[in-house]
Homo-oligomer: A and B are copies of this chain.
Amino acid sequence: MPDTSLLEAFPTPSDAPFVIEHVAEEFTSLCPKTGHPDFGTVTVRFEPAPARDGGVCVELKSLKLYLQSFRDEGIFYEAVTNTIRDHLATLMKPAWLLVRTDWKGRGGIRSTIRATSGPVPDAWRA
């Protein structure tokens, strides 16, 4: 089961604008209907809250173990995406957060889901 206790954070090193992206290309969970495995890529982008406000960043190895905890979970695409967004938003209270999942095709259709929290920072657009 997705295990939020695996997630760890560390204090962000700066007050200045700062955007982090982690791309995990090796994500797998199970289709809750058929039990067949689903494969996808999970992208996490965020601007931490400033250091002066106690901002934190998710720790990379803990993120990896957390994503691995979906391996035996029967769960829909939409739920994967919203669950990760909610767990990371609770952990980090970031200025901005986007979770994007890109799923390999099923029945000739491939899907992408994006869930966000907060406004897109200018630093990302540059």
Q: Chain A: residues with CB nearer than 8 A to chain B?
A: 12-14, 16-26, 28, 36-37, 39, 45, 57, 60-61, 63-64, 68, 71, 76, 78-79, 81-82, 85, 98, 104-117, 119-120, 122-126
Contacts and interface: CB of A to CB of B under 8 A. Distances in A.
Contact of A126 (B71, B81, B105, B124): B124
Copies in the complex: 10
Contact of A105 (B18, B81, B82, B105): B105
A113 B60 contact: no
A60 B26 CA distance: 20
Given A37-B68, A124-B126, A17 B116 contact: yes
A13 B79 contact: yes
Given A16-B82, A28-B28, A109-B64, A126 B116 contact: yes
Most buried by B among A21, A36, A81, A107: A107
A61 B76 CA distance: 13
Nearest to A61: B107
A64 B107 contact: yes
